């Protein structure tokens, strides 16, 4: 039987989602917890990878188990076993062909910025300069649609294609924070942080908004701006077909 597991985590203490030798990872913690509680070797398959220090308000993964599960009891045990910075929200029984990564329709990320130091907002990028949000929103429109995003990809990434379709890219103010929201069918490694870093160069008026169109066309990482720190990046949610949880 296959199960989807819905997760949130604070990524500050972890070397990203994906399990790796001699490193503390979200996937590793969840594998260990499930294996211990279910007394069977369990390997979860994530909906994607978040890099070192990146957070998730909603992540999904799937795992297989031979028997039915007492869902609420398992959630309670997992949350008691896992560190306080990893939370299990729900577990769903799904079709044996459902796949947390390949069945995802879209993913949405938020990037959080504060411009005044605040001890109660810990997971945001502190940027003291003034930025032109209108200019950044104007530039963001060039991101929409399907493009080759090589200019914003980690160099030498092992991907078959760098084409992604972006459905939403917008800057907004929310209380004390400035938040960039971006939604796409898929993302390349480091892509969001590179896009945010480039848009901030436009917001600081070091580049004009329409330069973003040329940066995309160049397909060269050196054309874009620097990547921003991981501390402000959140995987916000993942969309699936509505019937995937109706098993």
- Tally the residues of the chain: 247
Cα 66 to chain centroid distance, Å, stands at 30
Q: From CA 143, how far away is CA 217, in angstroms rounded?
A: 11
Gap between the Cα atoms of 164 and 152, Å rounded: 11
Q: 107 and 238 in contact (C-beta within 8 Å)?
A: yes
Q: Is 51 a catalytic residue?
A: yes
- Identify any residues that bridge with 7 across adjacent strands, giving them in sequence order: 59, 88
DSSP state of 235: E
The residues near 189 (Cβ < 8 Å, ≥ 6 apart) are 49, 51, 153, 154, 157
Catalytic residue among 51, 130, 134, 210: 51
Instruction: Return the structure tokens found at 68.
Output: 């039915």
Whole-angstrom Cα Rg for the chain: 19
Of the candidates 187, 198, 190, 197, the residue with the CA atom closest to the CA atom of residue 52: 190
Residues with catalytic function: 51
């Amino acid at each position: 039987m296959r199960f989807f597991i819905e997760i949130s985590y604070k990524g500050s203490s972890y070397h990203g989602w994906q399990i790796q030798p001699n490193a503390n990872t979200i996937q590793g913690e969840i594998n260990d917890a499930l294996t211990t509680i279910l007394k069977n070797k369990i390997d979860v398959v994530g909906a994607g990878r978040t890099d070192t220090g990146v957070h998730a308000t909603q992540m999904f993964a799937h795992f297989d188990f031979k028997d039915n599960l007492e869902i609420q009891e398992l959630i309670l045990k997992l949350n008691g076993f896992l560190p306080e910075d990893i939370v299990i929200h729900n577990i769903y029984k799904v079709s044996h062909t459902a796949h947390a990564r390949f069945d995802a329709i879209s993913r949405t990320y938020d990037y959080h910025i504060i411009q005044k130091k605040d001890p109660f907002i810990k997971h945001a990028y502190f940027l003291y300069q003034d930025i032109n949000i209108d200019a950044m929103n104007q530039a963001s429109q060039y991101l929409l649609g399907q493009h080759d995003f090589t200019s914003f990809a980690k160099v030498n990434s092992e991907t078959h294609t760098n084409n992604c379709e972006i459905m939403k890219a917008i800057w907004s103010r929310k209380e004390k924070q400035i938040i960039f929201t971006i939604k796409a069918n898929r993302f390349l490694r480091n892509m969001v942080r590179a896009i945010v870093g480039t848009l901030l160069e436009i917001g600081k008026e070091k580049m004009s908004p329409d330069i973003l169109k040329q940066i995309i066309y160049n397909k060269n990482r050196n054309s874009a701006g620097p990547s921003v720190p991981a501390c402000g990046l959140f995987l916000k949610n993942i969309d699936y077909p509505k019937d995937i949880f109706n098993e």
